[in-house]
Amino acid sequence: MIDEETRRLRAYQIWESEGRPEGRDLAHWYKAGEADFDASRDRPHFIQYSPGAAPPGSLVIKFYHSGDQIRGYVRKIAEPDEDDTIFPGEEMEPDAAFKLANSHNGDAHTPIFIELVEDVQWDPTWGELRSDHVATDTGETDDSHSQDDPAVARGRRTLAREAKKGPGRAVADPDR
């Protein structure tokens, strides 16, 4: 038998893992009391991101401080000769970033990578963050991607598109 405080914590973890639904407190309480309950089984798993660890097509959620809040954005690692795709190109709350990444992650067996910057600490209610890296032969070689925020990345893509139109186009407009 578990003590009441442990059961309360388990019920909270279940509630968090189910997206904080209303009206299910009793179901969560009973499930938390089950002897074979394993909180990590119900929580999503993520892999700590480091440059070069994510193969093309992988999703990365980058979390950073914006004022006193933690915000994030989702990007998809591109092939070496292409720019990463950012969904939707704006910062969002962590829960929204997780939902967006899950909706774009077609293969549930493909890990979602997490990048924490600016002293952002991992919140265990988000799931389990593993530091073990998947052995990959990655095409990601541009370490500057990990330093970009969404605005910088959009600017980089715009300049790259303009540069393809001609050598003078990317720098011709002094207001950029």
Whether this model's pTM surpasses 0.85: no
- What's the Rg (C-alpha) of the chain? 20
Average pLDDT over residues 38-56: 76
Query: Which strands make up the sheet holding 128-130, listed edge to edge?
Result: 85-92, 69-76, 59-66, 112-116, 45-48, 128-130
pLDDT digits 0-9 by tens, 120-130: 999 888 888 88
The three-state secondary structure class of 25 is helix
**Tokens read off for 3:** 């003590």
DSSP E strands in 68-143: the ranges are: 69-76, 85-92, 112-116, 128-130
